[in-house]
Structure 1
Amino acid sequence: MKTRKNMLLLACIGMVAVQTACTDYSADDHKFGNVVYLDVAKTSEVQAATIKNTLDVFDRTFAATLAYPSDQDVMLSVTVDPSLVERYNARYGTSWPMLDAKYYALSAETATIAAGKTTSETLTLHLQNLLGEGAGQTGALPLDETYLVPVTITQSSVPTLATSSTVYYVVKRSSNITVAAQLGAGNWINFPTLDKYGANSSAWNGLTAVTYEALIYIDQFATSTVTSDGNTNAVNISSVMGVEQYLLLRIGDTNFERQQLQFDGSGAGSKFGKFPERNATKNLSAGQWYHVACTYDQATRRVCVYVNGELQSEGTEMGLTSMSEDTRINLAMRALYDFYLKNPTPDNEKKYGGFGDAYQFFIGRSYDDYRPLNGKIAEARVWSVARTQQQIWENMYEIANPETDPTLLGYWKFNEGAGNTVKDYSMYGNDGVAETDIVWPDGIEIPKINETEE
């Protein structure tokens, strides 16, 4: 099974902690002799090189490092050593082959650590020719197969640190999602165009149904945080997406399981309150990818929460008992206030004049800066319909032709891998802008649990 292979890969990478030596070679008194090692291997000799299937090249960088500066230049040689593949497989219980030489090259096989310094110039393992040749991709690196590239120090003018002189790159060109954004305290995604009236924001207002969905990986559930005035603030909420005190998908709440999904429909367009009830058996776990979704439909008065495509909680006869133009769901209320400012009629003032300070739609933020999503996110979407369970299950990892569906209000893949702008792939073009610099972690791979391998 494909999922089992992915779990084996992750398990092998996680096992390396037990291989690390305990000796501290960085002590200021230099009580130990100087040694050289590869910087990336200091914490883990196994480094994932999981590659997006549309990339033809992919680079991994490393450097040689001394425990402390030497009074003379340190010269060393590095090489890719296929003979180490057998050692790796024996150690970790795998049977992965060596990557064919046509797919990799080292930028250099020698390095120098200058006198008085502790780090050499940067070296690069170039993974190349991944897409093969021509439209048919002849000779492309096979998808979803795992290979090894051991890089090791072969010669040095000072001794090597045995436990960190070799790094094993685990190479996989994956058909799964391999890019996600890391959010957390002080960082979330803003949507400036949703605050201005126009083509970008108009579809977000006057709704009768909504679906939120995303792939999330929680590193740590919110417990407490230090506020700007230095006080410790107890926090039980991890914000996923939505509008505070209106229509918000989050994890945790006061007097609620801090690891349980909660769909808060307290706004004028829903009024179903906080759903579902507290239930510890529905808790999520840290360190695991989930697809989460929630839906609400005014017409059917049905509220649903889904986890990994399965219906977790369902409420019927929820929220508003009647529908009218005045009870529509508005997710971009400040855009309506902007409309009022541009068209200051008494009727518009009555309808929208109070929206100047309305809560905004965010990803990874809600009431204030202290309810973050401490984790990774990908494939976030907002719809103007209540998606069915089958639609959610079948499309957890990608939406085909998103620019042609007017019910898809926002679609952020988080597949950029660099920068602080998150493209909206829907027809409405509400790109997200990070509050601070986004971290794009290496080694991401999100298994597709809705696919099976015969």
Structure 2
Amino acid sequence: MKKNRSYSLRLSFVFALCCLIGAGCQKDMENFDNKVFISNETVETLLLKGDDTGRGIIQTAIAQREQTNIEVVYKADLSLVDQYNRMFNDKAVALPEACYEIEQPKSTIAIGGVKGNDVIVHFKELSTLNRDLLYVLPVTISSTNLDVLSSARTRYFVIKGAALINVVANIKNNKLSLSSSGSKDALNNLSTITAEALIRVDKFGKLISTIMGIEGRFLIRIGDAGLPDNQIQLATSSGNVTDPSWTVNTNEWTHVALTFDSSNRSVELYINGVKKGGSQPSPYSGTVNWGNSSFWIGYSYEDGRFLDGDICECRVWNRILTQEEIQAKNHFYTVSPEAEGLVAYWKFDEGAGIVVKDHTNNGNNIASSKPLTWKAIELPAK
């Protein structure tokens, strides 16, 4: 009995102590000062991938409901760049004022609510930035009618260069053709054309390696009987066009752009943005018609004429690109799908599957005859 009584007394004491602690905690909760804060992560990173614009979001919140509207105004504060660098041991520079805008800087938390409307930071002219630098834009609470949680007062938008291309396809022993859907007319009756591809050849050693086109009509290939197996050739129904300077090295990423103008029968080839061999006369004077099932990437005549290597950024234009356009910053790695005259754009950035999307509105997707080998990569290489 004595033992049980002692146990009961101890249990009563513990229960009373818990009640006292609970009461104290409740009192602390009642005395807690409500504060406004940014509910997003402190840092958001935006990667420069060729787009000229972007946006960031700032979300406002409070811990407890209030009986009045809470007005919170934000501003960009470049004086906080040094603070960011100290906090994160970084070497960022301030984002230029021309590259951002906060049109509506106020967030309002309505009576009885705990969240305010989002504040949007619009980023612009991002293509003008130096991809080798790290930029930061601190956006902070500048005024409000409630106390601010100091540790969540500022959000840092970090902008840095990133690979424009992160995945490519290896098409060794493979080939791709147009799907049945899409607007085939966009690829037909082209009196002027620019065809582009970014390739990395692992090995030649075969008579012919195919980039794209239609056998016996209008085909861009590498090698032929009597030619070095690394020399590009335009093969048409009326004869072929090439030049000794039209050569491609193995194990190097190479941008190839071929232009054809039927009005004067001229062919020009650019390798990595440099015109090679001047303008070449073409025996072919007709239009280019690639909008049918005979069009292939990586195939012509027979399966052994595949391209032994990687490929991406295949494009077809219905106009002649100038040398300045081909040499434009990052043109090898990305262009706008809405660019004037772009009628087909296969980026090869899916990373899985056999279908490669046409990023123009024409919807001429292509599909491989067997599963593609996808390779992770970073281009341009740093």
Asked whether the two chains share a fold, i.e. TM above 0.5, the reply is yes
Aligned to 1:289: 253
Choose from 179, 182, 190 the match for 2:167: 179
Residues 241 and 280, structure 2, Cα contact 8 Å, conserved in 1 = no
Question: Which residue does 1:300 correspond to in 2?
Answer: 264
Question: Could you say which residue in structure 2 is the equivalent of 1:28?
Answer: none
Q: CA deviation at 1:419?
A: 2.0
Higher strand share: 2
1:274 to 240, 249, 259: 240
Given that 2:163 and 2:381 are in contact with CA atoms closer than 8 Å, whether structure 1 keeps it comes out as no
Distance 1:274 1:320 in 2: 9
* Partners of 2:47 and 2:305 in 1: CA distance: 31
In structure 1, distance between residues paired with 2:320 and 2:339: 18
Whether the aligned pair in 2 keeps the contact of 1:176 and 1:447 (CA below 8 Å) is no
Matched, 1:238 2:209: yes
CA distance in 1, matches of 2:202, 2:378: 13
Contact 2:246–2:277 (8 Å) recurs in 1: no
Q: Cα–Cα, structure 1 residues 368 and 309, in superposed 2: closer, same or farther, change >3 Å?
A: same
In structure 2, do the counterparts of structure 1 residues 442 and 404 end up closer, same or farther at CA, with 3 Å as the change threshold? closer
Alignment of 1:63-82 (within 5 A): none
Deviations 1:158-196 (A, max 9, x none): xxxxxxxxxxxxxx97243222111111x1212123xx7
Partners of 2:193 and 2:246 lie apart in 1 by 22
Structure 2: how far apart are the matches of 1:438 and 1:380? 16
Paired residue for 2:78? none
Conserved 8 A contact 1:295-1:387:
yes
SS of structure 2 residue aligned to 1:414:
coil
Aligned to 2:362: 428
SS in 1 for 2:326: helix
How far the C-alpha of 1:367 sits from its partner, in A, is 1.2
> 2:124 aligned with 1:188, yes or no?
no
SS across alignment from 1:391: helix
Aligned with 1:425: secondary structure?
coil
Match 2:374 to one of 427, 437, 440: 440
Aligned match for 1:262, one of 208, 233, 240:
233
Deviation at 1:309, TM superposition (A): 0.6
Please give the secondary structure, in 1, of the residue aligned with 2:325: helix
Give, in whole Å, the separation in 1 of the partners of 2:339 and 2:273: 24
Partners of 1:238 and 1:378 lie apart in 2 by: 16
Counterpart pick for 1:403 among 306, 325, 338: 338
Q: Is the 8 A contact 2:358 2:364 kept in 1?
A: yes
* Runs of 5+ consecutive residues of structure 2 not aligned to the other structure: 1-45, 50-87, 90-119, 124-129, 135-159
Q: Contact between 2:164 and 2:378, CA under 8 Å: does it hold in 1? A: no
* Alignment partners' CA distance in 1, 2:233 and 2:261: 17
Q: How many percent of aligned residue pairs carry the same amino acid?
A: 33
Deviation larger for 209-218 or 175-184: 175-184
Change (3 A) 1:144 1:434: farther
8 Å CA contact 2:241–2:282 kept in 1: the answer is no
CA gap 1:282/1:317 in 2 versus in 1, 3 angstroms: closer
2:261 pairs with 1:328: no
Q: 1:361 aligns with which of 277, 289, 295?
A: 295
Aligned-pair distance for 1:202?
1.4
- Taking structure 1 as the reference length, the TM-score comes to 0.47
From 212, 222, 236, give the equivalent of 1:251.
222
What is the correspondence of 1:309-348 to structure 2 with a 5 Å cutoff? Answer: 309-320=273-284, 327-333=286-292
Q: What pairs with 1:60-139 in structure 2 (closer than 5 Å)?
A: none
Q: Distance in 1 between matches of 2:332 and 2:131?
A: 20
What is the alpha-carbon distance in structure 1 between the residues aligned to residue 47 and residue 213 of structure 2? 29
CA distance in structure 1 between the partners assigned to 2:350 and 2:132 by the alignment? 21
Work out the CA distance in 2 between the residues paired with 1:275 and 1:319.
Answer: 8
Report the alpha carbon displacement of residue 370 of structure 1 after superposing the two structures with TM.
Answer: 0.5
Question: Partner letter of residue 391 of structure 1?
Answer: E
Task: Provide the C-alpha distance between the structure 1 equivalents of 2:284 and 2:198, rounded to a whole number of angstroms.
Answer: 29
Equivalent position to 2:186, from 203, 212, 235: 203
Aligned amino acid, residue 276 of structure 2: Q
Whether the 8 Å CA contact 2:246–2:271 is kept in 1: the answer is: no
Match of 2:201 in 1: 218
For residues 256-276 of structure 1, what are the alpha-carbon distances to aligned partners after superposition, in whole Å with 9 as ceiling and x for unaligned?
Answer: 110111121x22xxx3x2221
Q: Is the 8 A contact 1:302 1:314 kept in 2?
A: no
Q: Are the structure 2 counterparts of residues 145 and 374 from structure 1 closer, same or farther at C-alpha, using a change threshold of 3 Å?
A: farther
SS, match of residue 207 in structure 1:
coil
The gaps in structure 1 that reach 5 residues or longer are 1-50, 55-99, 102-133, 147-171, 224-234, 322-326, 335-359, 449-454
Q: Is the 8 A contact 2:163 2:379 kept in 1?
A: no
- Which of 369, 372, 377 pairs up with 2:311? 377
Counterpart of 1:275, as a letter, is V
Q: CA 1:220–1:317 in structure 2 vs 1: closer, same or farther (change >3 Å)?
A: closer
Shift of residue 328, structure 1, vs aligned partner? 3.3
Give the direction of change, closer, same or farther, for the CA distance of 1:249–1:316 in structure 2 (3 Å limit).
Answer: closer
1:319 CA drift (Å): 2.6
Rg bigger for which structure?
Answer: 2
Q: Distance in 2 between matches of 1:442 and 1:236?
A: 29
Task: Report the alpha carbon displacement of residue 423 of structure 1 after superposing the two structures with TM.
Answer: 0.9
- Deviation of 1:144 after TM superposition, in Å, equals 5.4
Contact 1:144 1:174 in 2 (8 A): no
What is the Cα deviation at residue 437 of structure 1? 1.1
Normalised by the size of structure 2, how large is the TM-score?
A: 0.56
Say what the alpha-carbon RMSD is for the aligned residues: 3.1
Amino acid at match of 1:205: N
- Check whether the contact 1:237–1:250 (CA below 8 A) recurs between aligned residues: yes
Give the partner amino acid of 2:221.
R
Q: How does 1:8-87 map to 2 (within 5 A)?
A: none
